[in-house]
Amino acid sequence: MEEVLSFFLLCICCCFWFFHIFNYENTETLFYWISPLIILSQLSGGVILGYIRLKAGLFWGMLYHGLFNGIIVIIALLFYHNVATISYSDKEVENFSLHELQYRDKHSAYSEIKWDSKGNLTEVHCNDISLKLAIRELGIEKELKSNNCWINLDIVAPKGVSKEKVLGILEKEYKFERKKK
């Protein structure tokens, strides 16, 4: 009987492992070749959780799962929150920084955009807003194809910078497509 349970647990763990591949958004062939290594933690986690469930009971398996996920979330919040996704400067743009947020404070959301007389951007300060909203407020005529995210965006360009240049900087990190009419 224990052999049957072990086989059944391994089959469920492999299914759990396989379905976690869909947590990632990537269409490159290399990704699919190395994906078993990427999601190996799900297989090992499934085996450990299944073993705890069978030996100690459902409560202890759920408690272990919650503690494990809690530790990962705390590490992510401590080390990966507000990490610069794009940092850029040149003779035209004094400062361009975009930070993707892992969590947001909706009470501190604001955006302030300043334009010069030629219609160029001179200052942009966006805090805790979606990237799609920022693109719309900047008047960029393309739609974000990548997943939307919450951002802080700061652009300082005293001499002015065109919307096209800002789009060019953003296109290094995000995918865009023409707006549908």
92 and 63 share one domain: no
More confident residue, 94 or 32: 94
Contacts of 156 (CB under 8 A, 6+ apart): 93, 94, 95, 96, 122, 123
Domain that holds residue 165: 83-178
62 and 22 share one domain: yes
Residue-wise DSSP of the chain:
-HHHHHHHHHHHHHHHHHHGGGGS----HHHHHHHHHHTHHHHHHHHHHHHHHHHH-HHHHHHHHHHHHHHHHHHHHHHTTTEEEEEE--SS-SEEEEEE-SS--GGG-EEEEEE-TTS-EEEEEEEEEEHHHHHHHHT-SEEE-SPP-EEEEEEEEEEEE-HHHHHHHHTTTS-EEEPP-
Give 73-96 pLDDT, tens digit per residue: 888 777 766 566 788 888 888 888
Give 4-15 pLDDT, tens digit per residue: 877 887 888 788
99 and 165 share one domain: yes
User: How many structural domains is the chain composed of?
Assistant: 2
16 and 88 share one domain: no
174 and 89 share one domain: yes
- Write the CA distances from 55 to 7, 28, 50, 59, 176, integer angstroms: 15, 40, 9, 11, 51
142 and 156 share one domain: yes
pTM: 0.55
87 and 172 share one domain: yes
63 and 103 share one domain: no
- Write the CA distances from 56 to 47, 52, 60, 61, 109, integer angstroms: 14, 5, 6, 7, 46
21 and 93 share one domain: no
Task: Find tokens 């799900």 and name the residue.
Answer: 42
51 and 96 share one domain: no
* The pLDDT of residue 54: 83
88 and 140 share one domain: yes
Domain boundary among 21, 47, 79: 79
- On whether the CB atoms of residues 176 and 170 are closer than 8 A, the answer is yes
Give 41-81 pLDDT, tens digit per residue: 778 888 888 888 888 988 998 899 899 889 888 887 777 66
Domain boundary among 54, 79, 104: 79
Quick check: 149 pLDDT over 90? no
111 and 43 share one domain: no
Domain boundary among 38, 54, 79: 79
Q: Is 68 exposed, middle or buried (0-12, 13-18, 19+ CB in 10 A)?
A: middle
Give 94-140 pLDDT, tens digit per residue: 888 888 877 677 778 888 999 999 989 999 999 988 888 888 888 88
